[in-house]
Amino acid sequence: MLITAVLTASGLTCRPQRAASPAASAGSNDGPRRRQPNETPLQPPSAVAYDFLWQQRVAITYQGRTRRFDAALQKRGDTLTLVGLGPMGTPGFVITLEGETVLFENHTGRTLPFSPRYILLDIQRVFFPWSATGPRSGQIDGERVDETHRAGRLVQRRFQSTSVPSEPPIVVDYDGWSGGNDAPRWAHLHHGAFGYQLTVETVAQQRLAPAPAN
């Protein structure tokens, strides 16, 4: 079922709010951010060449607490949508990236531990392309990105700040690749500088037919 159908069935096709800009939210208490002015830009959703819908289980450990939730992640055209699901499978929050615009809906009654933009950035760090297929290192937007591949599969990705070389890296480890799947079963992100861990289990995945042209 497409995410739009899930939202419609739940009666939560509400008016999304534009998320705060990086500069405006830099001093907020909505979770860790990369230090200014070294702000890593988001990639457009179209950086992924195909459309997809993934069902996932997410665990975030930060400041001694672990939060878990089910999620649906969909990329369709130039729109990326993350839906965090509540205990009854209804949408708790929705984060949407439309081109360069971040939109946010929150129905949980609680403040998220991280800003919507930062959540999208972690999704892209883990699942978006940062280099061509194969072992490669390069500098992208003030960070050195190193990828390790084995048997044609990505097994680790490291992001190291070039402006603050002493800062611990962000490390993503991948496990459980299967067949022609686009995402591994498990992805584990550890942010050394901010001290949080993110584990994403992709339990179901499918490619979607291209969205019809307007």
For residue 157 the two structure tokens come to 């990705």
Question: 31 in a domain, yes or no?
Answer: no
Question: 139 in a domain, yes or no?
Answer: yes
**Dist CA 196 CA 201 (whole Å):** 17
Using left for φ > 0, alpha for ψ between -120 and 50, and beta otherwise, residue 148 falls in: beta
Question: 33 in a domain, yes or no?
Answer: no
| 162-168: long-range contacts, CB 8 A cutoff, minimum separation 24 | 163/38, 164/35, 164/38, 167/192, 167/193, 168/192, 168/193
Question: 214 in a domain, yes or no?
Answer: no
Question: 82 in a domain, yes or no?
Answer: yes
The answer to whether residues 86 and 96 touch, using CB atoms and an 8 Å cutoff, is: no
Q: Which of 128, 113, 131, 136 is nearest to 198 (CA)?
A: 113
Q: The domain containing residue 58 runs over which residues?
A: 3-10+45-208
Gap between the terminal Cα atoms of the chain? 21
Q: pLDDT tens for residues 156-206?
A: 999 999 888 899 999 999 999 998 899 999 999 999 999 999 999 999 999
Q: pLDDT tens for residues 25-70?
A: 333 344 444 444 346 789 999 999 999 999 999 999 998 999 899 9
Q: How many structural domains compose the chain?
A: 1
Q: pLDDT tens for residues 74-127?
A: 999 999 999 999 877 788 999 999 999 999 999 888 888 789 999 999 999 999
User: What CATH number does the domain containing 106 carry?
Assistant: 2.50.20
For residue 202 the two structure tokens come to 């992709």
Q: What is the Rg, in whole angstroms, of the alpha carbon atoms belonging to the chain?
A: 17
Question: 137 in a domain, yes or no?
Answer: yes
